[in-house]
Structure 1
Amino acid sequence: MLLLRRFPTFTLTLFSCILLCESNTLKARQTVRNFPDGFLFGTATASYQIEGGWNADGKSENIWDHMTHNNPCVTDDCLNGDVADDSYNLYKRDVEMARELGLDFYRFSISWSRVLPTSFPDKMNEAGVQYYNNLINELLKYNIEPMVTIYHWDLPQKLQEMSGWTNPHIVDWFSDYSRVLFEQFGDRVKYWITLNEPREICYQGYGSVTMAPQLNIQGTAEYMCAKNLLVAHAKAYHIYDKEFRATQGGTIGITISASWMEPETEDHAEAAEVMRQFEWGQYAHPIFSKAGDFPPVMKERIAAKSAAQGFQRSRLPEFTAEEVEMVRGSSDFFGLNHYSSVIVFKNESSLTYDVPSYYDDIEANGYQPSDWSGAASSWLKDVPWGFYKLLTAIRENYDNPVVFITENGYSTYGGLEDEDRITYYRGYLNAMLDAMEDGSDVRVYTAWSLMDNFEWMRGYTERFGLYEVDYESPERTRTPRKSAFVYKEIVRTRALDFNYEPNTTIMTIDEGH
C-alpha cells in the first residue's frame, strides 16, 4: 500500500479533465463480462493481522509485537495484534467463510517466529507447525488451494536486533526459514509467495517510520534492505526450483506493491517514470527485465547525488554479476498488490526533502486530487483507469509476464452496507478485464481482505474485510458484508454483472465447498 511522503493541495479543474479523459480510454462498460476459463479467485490475509496468539504455544516475539508493546499508541487506536481476529483458534471459521464465498484459493502468511521461535532451524515449534498444518488441511478438505506467503512483514525481533534486512546474513536466515516451510508444507502447498511488498518493508520500515521497525534512516537503509531482500528472495526461489519443484510441483514468485504514477502534464512525464522506477521498478526490474539489476535511472541518480553529498561510494549497494544473474528471472509470476494511483510532478527543490533521502533522490512527488472518490484510508482513491495503465505498463515493460493480482481492496469505517467497496471492486475488475482483452496475462485475482483485521499503524480504525469482525465480542464474530455476497456471485458465475443485487439475508455454502 503506497504512502507518499506529502501531498500538495491543488485546485485546478484540469484534474477533472484528466480523470474523465483517462476513464474514456477504457472500453465501454458492458452489463455482464465473463472471465476466461481457468481464472482463479481468492481472498488474502496476513499472520500478524489476524492470528492473535502472539505468545501462544511457544511463539516468540516479532517486530510488531515489540513495537506495539513498547509504544502502545504508535497505532491510531493504541491497539495491537495480540488477539486480532483470533484466527489462531478460529481458523475453521475462516475456512468456512472461504467456502461460503466459493473461493478457489485462500492466501495467508506464515509467522516466522511461530514456526522457528529462535529464528533459526535449530528448534522447530511443533505447535506452530501443527497450526499451519491444520489450516492447510482444512482448506484442502474443501478443495480450496492454500496460497502461502513466506514473509509478510513480521520479522522475528531477534533478527531485527541483528540489523534485520540491512544485514546481508539475512539472505541465509531467510533461505533456511523458507526451506523449512517447503519441507513441512510443500507436499500440499502449490502456490508460494516469498515476500510481500518489498517497498513497504524497506522504505516504510527502514527509511521511514510508517512501519515496524521504524528505523528512519533516510537514503541508505532502505537501499541496503532492498538489495538484501532481492537476493534473499532469489535464493529461496532457487532452493525451491532445484530441490523441491520436481517432487512438489508448485509455483513460486514474489509480490510487489505498485500504484500507478500519472504525470500531472506531459512536462512531468519523465518525473512520473522516475518515480515508477524507484517505487516499484526498484524491485521489479532486477527480476523481470531482460537486463536485470536495479533500474539504470536509480543507479545513475543515486551515484551522482551520493558523490555530490560527499559519500565515497553510491548509497545504492551494487549487485555482483553473480547476484544479477541469480535475481533475474527468479519468479514464476508477477505478484501484484494494487490499490490506487497518484498524480506526479517534478520537484527539484532540495528544501522540500531531507538530504540525503529517498524522495530527494527521486526529485518528484505525488498527490491525489480532492475530487477523486476516497476510502477510509487517506491514500486510497478509487481510480480504476490507473489499474488498467499499470497492467499495460507491466505487459509492455517486462515482456508480458504471468500476473497474479495478490491484493486489491477498499477500506471503510465499518458497517454491512458497503456500496463504495462494491463500486470499487467492480470498477477495478472491469479495468483488469480491459487489460486482459488487450493481452495482459492476468490469471489470478485476490480480494483484500477476507475479513477486517489489524490494519498496521491504523489499528482497527480502517476496515478492509468482505466480512465484518466484531472486536467487542470474545468470539470475534464474523458477518458477511454486502460486498461478500457480490464477490460470491462473481466467483460463482465467473462473470462481472454490474446490475446484480444480492439477497443478503443469509450466506450459504455452495455444493463443492
Structure 2
Amino acid sequence: MSTKISIVGLVFVALSLTFAQNDTDFLYENFPEDFEWGFATASYQIEGGWDADGKGENIWDEFTHRIPSPIKDNSTGDVACDSYHNYMQDVELLKNTGVNFYRFSLSWSRILPDGTNRTINQRGIDYYNKLINALIANGIEPMVTLYHWDLPQTLQAVGGWPNETVIHHFEGYARIAYSYFGDRVKKWITFNEAFVVCQQGYGDGVHAPGISSPVQSYDCAHNVLKSHALAYRLYEREFKESQGGECGITIDCGWYEPEDPNNPAHVEAAERAVTFKHGWYAFPVFFGDYPSVMRTLIDAKSQSEGLLESRLPSFDSYWSQQLNGSWDFLGLNHYTTELVVPENRTDPGWRGDQNTRTYQSEEWPPSASFWLRVVPWGFRKLLNWIKITYGNPLLYVTENGFSDTDAEGVNDQGRIDYYRDYTNNMLKAINLDGCNIKKYTAWSLMDNFEWAEGLTGALWCHYYTDPARPRTPKMSQSFLKKLFADNGFPLPKQ
C-alpha cells in the first residue's frame, strides 16, 4: 500500500509536467475497432410512475414530497419523462442515435417494495424485462446499474446506509436482479457515484435523505463498499460462469489541478484532493483499504476532536479480502476540473479533513450549472492518473456531459463543443497514452429530473415541452450520431 501511494505521488508530479494546459492540438484519428458508445439514465430521473403497479416509496419520493420542497424549482420525479409508460420511445431514440449500449438503473423499490426479498413485485420485474428485451431486439446491449441513489424508504427508516444491516438487504436485491435479468444482462454496475450518495445525502444534506453529519458520510461509504463487495462476490461465485457477464462499480471524480504546479505544497494538496475523492472508494476495491493519507489525517483530526474512535471506520481482514480485487471493470463519471491549494482546516468532515481548498478558474468556459466548467485537458489527466494508480484497469466512461445554457430549445452548440473536446482528449488518452478505455457513455439521453436542481439542470440531448413527453432531438444528438458512426474523428476531406 505505501509503495503504491508513493508511486501515485510521483505520477501526479509527472502528469502536471507532461500535459500542458494549452495542449489544444486536435487529434484526427479513430477509436479502436472494439470501442463502444452509449447513453445513460437513472431510474428516478426518468421513469416516473412513482407509486404505480406496486412500487414502494424510496428516499427521493419522500425527499421531494417534503414541504417546503428542498428542490430548486419545487419539482419531483413523480412523472419525470414517464419512461415507465414510454420506454419504447426511449429505445427508438437510442436506435436512431446508433448506440452500442444503454446504461440504465433499476429501481430497487419497484422490484422489492420494502427493500427486502420478502415481497417481489412481479409487475416491476415485468417492466424491466420488457425494456431489456426491447433493447436486445434493436441490437442495443443493456448495461444495468443496481443502485443509482434511490434507497427504499423502509430501509432509510431504520438508518439507511449508515446502518450495517443494509448490506445484506443489498446482497439480496442483487441476487434477485442477477437471477431475473442476468441471462440477458452481461454488464453490471453495483453503485453509481457512492461519493454523492454519502457526502451529499448524509454529509451535506442537500440530497436525499437530507442528513448533515461529518460521521454518517463515512459510515455510509463504509457500508456501501461492503455492499459492493458482497454483490460482486455473489456474482463471481454463483452467476458469472453460467451467465458470462462482468461486474464493476462506477466512481465519480473530477480532475484536481495544483494552482501552482511548481509549488510542491500545491502539488501535494492536489494529489490529496484526488485521492480523497477517487481513492476513498477505489483504493478499497483495488487494494483492500482506504488510502493511507485519509487514515492519517482523519485519525489525527478525530483524536484532536476528543473522539474515542476515528470518524473513518476500519476494515477487518475479512472485509479487506472481500473488497480487494472486487472488480471486472472500473466505471468513471467525469464532468469538470478544479484548482487546488493547501489549507489547514479544522471543520470536521470530508472537505475539512483533507486540508485543501478548491475552486474553478473564471477563464474556463461556464455551463448552466455553477459547478461545471469546461476543462477538456483535465479529463485526459484524470484518465492517465487512473491508468498508473490502479495498473491500467479496464475502464468504462459511464457518464460525461454538459449542462445546457439553452434548456428550452434544440440549439445546444455548447454541448457539442464539450462532447467534441472531451472525447478528443479521451482519444488522446487511448491512442497516445495507452489508457485501457473501452466504452464512452454520454449523459444524458433526454430531459430528466436533475436531483436537487429539479428540471433546471439541462444535461440532456433530447427534450420535451408538453405533458405527452414527446422526445425532441437537439443538435448534439446529430453530432453524437455522427461521432458514434465514425467511431472518432476521421481527417476532414479537403
Shorter-chain TM-score: which interval?
A: over 0.9
Say if 2:286 is the partner of 1:293.
no
Provide the C-alpha distance between the structure 2 equivalents of 1:172 and 1:358, rounded to a whole number of angstroms: 26
Matches within 5 A, 1:222-237: 222-237=217-232
SS of residue matched to 2:429: helix
Say if 2:73 is the partner of 1:73.
no
SS of residue matched to 1:56: coil
Hey, what does 2:487 align to over in structure 1? 494
Work out whether residues 105 and 145 of structure 1, in 8 Å CA contact, stay in contact via their aligned partners in 2: yes
Hey, what does 2:415 align to over in structure 1? 421
Change (3 A) 1:84 1:497: farther
Hey, what does 1:443 align to over in structure 2? 438
Aligned partner letter, 2:425 = A
Provide the C-alpha distance between the structure 2 equivalents of 1:142 and 1:116, rounded to a whole number of angstroms: 28
Hey, what does 1:125 align to over in structure 2? 121
Provide the C-alpha distance between the structure 2 equivalents of 1:375 and 1:81, rounded to a whole number of angstroms: 23
Give the CA deviation at 1:40. Answer: 0.6
Render the CA deviation track for 1:372-413: whole Å, top value 9, x for unaligned.
101111111110110000000001110000000000000114
Work out whether residues 345 and 353 of structure 2, in 8 Å CA contact, stay in contact via their aligned partners in 1: no
Q: Given the alignment, which residue of 315, 318, 339 partners 2:311?
A: 315
Render the CA deviation track for 1:176-235: whole Å, top value 9, x for unaligned.
0000000010000011000000100111101112211111012x1111111111110011
Matches within 5 A, 1:443-462: 443-462=438-457
Give the CA deviation at 1:99. Answer: 0.3
Hey, what does 2:365 align to over in structure 1? 373
Hey, what does 2:392 align to over in structure 1? 400
Say if 2:426 is the partner of 1:432.
yes
SS of residue matched to 1:406: strand
Provide the C-alpha distance between the structure 1 equivalents of 2:272 and 2:378, rounded to a whole number of angstroms: 17
Matches within 5 A, 1:1-40: 22-25=20-23, 28-30=25-27, 32-40=28-36
Give the CA deviation at 1:361. Answer: 0.8
Hey, what does 2:383 align to over in structure 1? 391
Give the CA deviation at 1:173. Answer: 0.7
Change (3 A) 1:499 1:160: farther
SS of residue matched to 2:341: strand
Q: Given the alignment, which residue of 130, 151, 158 partners 2:147?
A: 151
Work out whether residues 114 and 155 of structure 2, in 8 Å CA contact, stay in contact via their aligned partners in 1: no
Give the CA deviation at 1:435. Answer: 0.8
Provide the C-alpha distance between the structure 2 equivalents of 1:229 and 1:182, rounded to a whole number of angstroms: 19
SS of residue matched to 1:181: helix
TM-score of the pair, normalised by structure 2: 0.93
Aligned partner letter, 1:132 = Y
Give the CA deviation at 1:39. Answer: 0.4
TM-score of the pair, normalised by structure 1: 0.90
Runs of 4+ aligned residues of structure 1 deviating over 6 Å after TM superposition are none
Runs of 5+ in structure 1 lacking a partner?
1-17, 501-513
Give the root-mean-square deviation of aligned CA atoms. 1.6
Aligned partner letter, 1:394 = I
Hey, what does 2:7 align to over in structure 1? none
Render the CA deviation track for 1:126-180: whole Å, top value 9, x for unaligned.
1111000000000000110000000000000110111111011111010000000
Work out whether residues 74 and 457 of structure 1, in 8 Å CA contact, stay in contact via their aligned partners in 2: yes
Hey, what does 2:474 align to over in structure 1? 481
Q: Given the alignment, which residue of 33, 40, 43 partners 1:44?
A: 40
Render the CA deviation track for 1:269-288: whole Å, top value 9, x for unaligned.
11111111111110011112
Work out whether residues 193 and 250 of structure 2, in 8 Å CA contact, stay in contact via their aligned partners in 1: yes
Provide the C-alpha distance between the structure 1 equivalents of 2:333 and 2:491, rounded to a whole number of angstroms: 24
Provide the C-alpha distance between the structure 1 equivalents of 2:253 and 2:369, rounded to a whole number of angstroms: 16
Matches within 5 A, 1:58-457: 58-71=54-67, 73-218=69-214, 220-265=215-260, 266=263, 267-289=265-287, 292-350=288-346, 355-412=347-404, 413-414=406-407, 415-437=409-431, 438-457=433-452
Work out whether residues 152 and 196 of structure 1, in 8 Å CA contact, stay in contact via their aligned partners in 2: yes
Render the CA deviation track for 1:57-76: whole Å, top value 9, x for unaligned.
00111001001112352111
Hey, what does 2:10 align to over in structure 1? none
SS of residue matched to 2:365: coil
SS of residue matched to 1:58: coil
Render the CA deviation track for 1:458-480: whole Å, top value 9, x for unaligned.
1001211111222xx12111111
Give the CA deviation at 1:309. Answer: 0.9
SS of residue matched to 1:453: coil
Aligned partner letter, 2:472 = T
Change (3 A) 1:499 1:163: farther
Give the CA deviation at 1:356. Answer: 2.2
Give the CA deviation at 1:305. Answer: 0.9
Percent of aligned pairs with the same residue?
Answer: 47
Provide the C-alpha distance between the structure 2 equivalents of 1:207 and 1:84, rounded to a whole number of angstroms: 27
> Which range moved further: 232-241 or 258-267?
258-267
Give the CA deviation at 1:236. Answer: 0.2
> Which range moved further: 65-74 or 480-489?
65-74
Work out whether residues 332 and 402 of structure 1, in 8 Å CA contact, stay in contact via their aligned partners in 2: yes
Work out whether residues 344 and 355 of structure 2, in 8 Å CA contact, stay in contact via their aligned partners in 1: yes
SS of residue matched to 2:250: strand
Provide the C-alpha distance between the structure 2 equivalents of 1:484 and 1:23, rounded to a whole number of angstroms: 29
Render the CA deviation track for 1:275-327: whole Å, top value 9, x for unaligned.
111111100111124xx200000011111111111011211111001111110
Paired residues in the alignment total 472
Render the CA deviation track for 1:63-92: whole Å, top value 9, x for unaligned.
010011123521111000000000000000
Provide the C-alpha distance between the structure 1 equivalents of 2:20 and 2:362, rounded to a whole number of angstroms: 17
Give the CA deviation at 1:489. Answer: 0.7
Provide the C-alpha distance between the structure 1 equivalents of 2:138 and 2:429, rounded to a whole number of angstroms: 32
